[in-house]
Amino acid sequence: MVERTPILNFFTHLILFAGFVFCVAPFVIVAIAASHNLKDVNDVPMSLLPGSDFWVNIKTAWTTAGLGPKLFNSFIMAAGVAAGKVIISALTAFSIVYFRYPGRTLIFWLIFVTLMLPLEVRIVPTYAVVANVLSPYQAIMDVTGLSWLIEKVSGVQVSLSLGLLNSYTGLIMPLIATATGTFLYRQFFLTVPDELTEAARMDGAGALRFFIDILLPLSRNNMAALGTIMFLWAWNQYLWPLLITTDQSHATAVTELKQLIPNVGGAPEWHIAMAGTLIVMLPPLIVVVLMQRWFVRGLIATEK
């Protein structure tokens, strides 16, 4: 603030407050609706005073949608994606930045291109791959004549098959197969002073030792930022889990929300639906609130 502008300040406060209400109102409405009973939630207009059925509704939503195991699945998926990303991206970035080998530029571009096409647009063939994750390799062996050769030599017909539908691996792996984190690490590794590498080498450290004992501890901030952002991103995935978890035992909390939409013919049980929504909204919201610094940092850094 550099000058006195009382009228403008008044409007600034007014507009910002309106923005605040716009952002918070849906959360509040969901929470209030979750506390009403069937009659009150369908009142027009709905009373903004909280009702008394909050815990009952939470409990009903929890049991009807089976949210306990679903939240557990969501957590496994989100933690798996976050951990996978943090580790695999660090390895790749280390390889790209700290080594010179033929084809390095090619690898860089191969990874870079994956930023362009999100999972959603190549969803159908990815589903086919996950249904039998070895099918690409089978096809390659068939085309190159390798499986013919093996069959001739050993008499064994090669048919590789490993289905990952309805498994945590199938949920997690395709979500890791993008470049988001790699470039975050790359940018950071490039700022690490060369003297540090020289000193480490002089002291006799090899590549692996340098990576584990020096580079990784230095990248702790990046790991926290990347981990936070990937955890949220994976938790909020919808289309992918919806497709590959045909079996209830691996469904995630977010895909389960669909069960809570009130049927057209049935009772409009919005209070239950909102209680379920609240439960599903809460974990990411807690992560955003507690990890705000890393969240903001991760967002801005990964998109560069």
Asked whether 164 and 130 are in contact (CB, 8 A), the reply is yes
Stretch of 24-32, 55-63, 148-156, 213-221 lying at the interface with other proteins (CB under 8 A)? 24-32
Q: What part of residues 185-214 is at the interface with other proteins (CB under 8 A)?
A: 189-190, 194, 197-198, 201, 206-208, 210-211
117 binds other proteins (CB under 8 A): yes
Question: How many residues make contact with other proteins (CB under 8 A)?
Answer: 110
d(CA 286, CA 70): 18
Which residue, 178 or 250, is less far from other proteins as judged by CB? 178
261 secondary structure, DSSP code: S
Q: Which long-range contacts (CB under 8 A, 24 or more apart) does 54-60 make?
A: 54/275, 57/271, 57/272, 57/274, 57/275, 58/34, 58/275, 58/278, 58/279, 60/272, 60/275
User: Strand, coil or helix: what is 60?
Assistant: helix
CA angle 299, 300, 303 (to 5 degrees): 80
Instruction: In angstroms, give the least distance from the CB of 144 to other proteins.
Output: 15
Binding residue (CB under 8 A) for other proteins from 52, 72, 118, 249: 118
Which range binds other proteins by CB under 8 A, 7-15, 58-66, 149-157, 212-220?
7-15
- Longest CA span, the chain: 88
Stretch that binds other proteins, among 59-67, 149-157, 212-220, 268-276 (CB under 8 A): 268-276
Instruction: State in angstroms the smallest separation of the CB of 220 from other proteins.
Output: 19
Quick check: 150 and 156 in contact, CB under 8 A?
Answer: yes
**Residue list 85-104, contact with other proteins (CB under 8 A):** 88-89, 91-92, 94-101
- Residue 116, helix vs strand vs coil: coil
Span near other proteins by CB under 8 A; candidates 15-23, 61-69, 141-149, 213-221: 15-23
**In 3-state terms, what secondary structure has residue 119?**
helix
Closest by alpha carbon to 213, among 199, 224, 225? 199
Q: Please, which residue, 156 or 264, has the CB nearer to other proteins? A: 264
The distance of Cα 260 from the centroid of its chain, to the nearest Å, equals 23
Cβ 271 to other proteins, closest distance in Å?
10
Question: Minimum distance between the CB of residue 25 and other proteins, rounded to whole angstroms?
Answer: 8
Please report how close the Cβ of residue 153 comes to other proteins at its closest, in angstroms: 26
Stretch touching other proteins by CB under 8 A, among 49-57, 58-66, 127-135, 218-226: 127-135
Is residue 199 within 8 Å of residue 128, measured between CB atoms? no
**Does position 56 bind other proteins by CB under 8 A?**
no
Among 58, 188, 280, 302, binds other proteins (CB under 8 A): 280
Nearer Cβ to other proteins (154/194):
194
N-term to C-term CA, the chain: 30
